[in-house]
């Protein structure tokens, strides 16, 4: 119950930590991987708490279309974009270019469980 809930957030952090450099994923992908495909919003909320987790690259998590919808939550206004560009990801107007190419699927990388 509640414990599961806590575990859910923890899982989100773990998956996010497993995102390799220069890769990005979507909230829905993580949510689905955790079995909460309908609670993709919770993944974003979990990222909110990830602010205390330096090992959790929240900037590598975007919505399913590769849009940096949560850049407003970062320290700066374009910090998220800068971080992604720093990893070799081209971002234009909050939109990741070649999103599918940089997309990191937990089901594939972690072995869909």
Partner DNA sequence: ATTCTGACGTGGG
Partner DNA sequence: CCCCACGCCAGAA
Which residues sit at the interface with DNA, rule CB under 7 A? 5, 26-29, 31, 36-45, 47-48, 50-51, 58, 61, 63-65, 69-70, 72-74, 80
- For the bound state, the minimum distance from the C-beta of residue 27 to DNA, rounded and expressed in Å, comes to 4
Q: Which is nearer to DNA, 67 or 110 (CB)?
A: 67
Q: Which is nearer to DNA, 22 or 73 (CB)?
A: 73
Pairing of strands 95-96, 91-92: antiparallel
What are the strands, taking DSSP E only, across 3-110? 25-26, 61-62, 91-92, 95-96
Q: Which is nearer to DNA, 51 or 88 (CB)?
A: 51
Q: How far is CA 48 from CA 73, 99, 102, in A?
A: 8, 23, 23
- For the bound state, the minimum distance from the C-beta of residue 79 to DNA, rounded and expressed in Å, comes to 10
Helix axes 27-34, 2-17, angle to 10 degrees: 130
Please answer whether residues 104 and 98 qualify as being in contact, where contact means their C-beta atoms are separated by less than 8 angstroms. Answer: no
- For the bound state, the minimum distance from the C-beta of residue 23 to DNA, rounded and expressed in Å, comes to 15
Q: Which is nearer to DNA, 17 or 64 (CB)?
A: 64
């Amino acid at each position: 119950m509640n414990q599961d809930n806590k575990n859910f957030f923890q899982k989100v952090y773990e998956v996010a930590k497993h995102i390799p450099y220069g890769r990005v994923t979507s909230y829905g992908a993580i949510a689905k991987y955790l079995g909460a495909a309908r609670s993709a919003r919770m993944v974003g909320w979990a990222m909110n708490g990830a602010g205390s987790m330096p090992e959790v690259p929240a900037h590598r998590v975007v919505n399913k279309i590769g849009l940096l919808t949560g850049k407003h939550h970062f320290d700066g206004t374009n910090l998220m974009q800068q971080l992604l560009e720093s990893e070799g990801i081209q971002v234009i107007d909050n939109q990741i270019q070649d999103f599918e190419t940089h997309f990191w699927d937990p089901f594939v990388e972690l072995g869909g469980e």
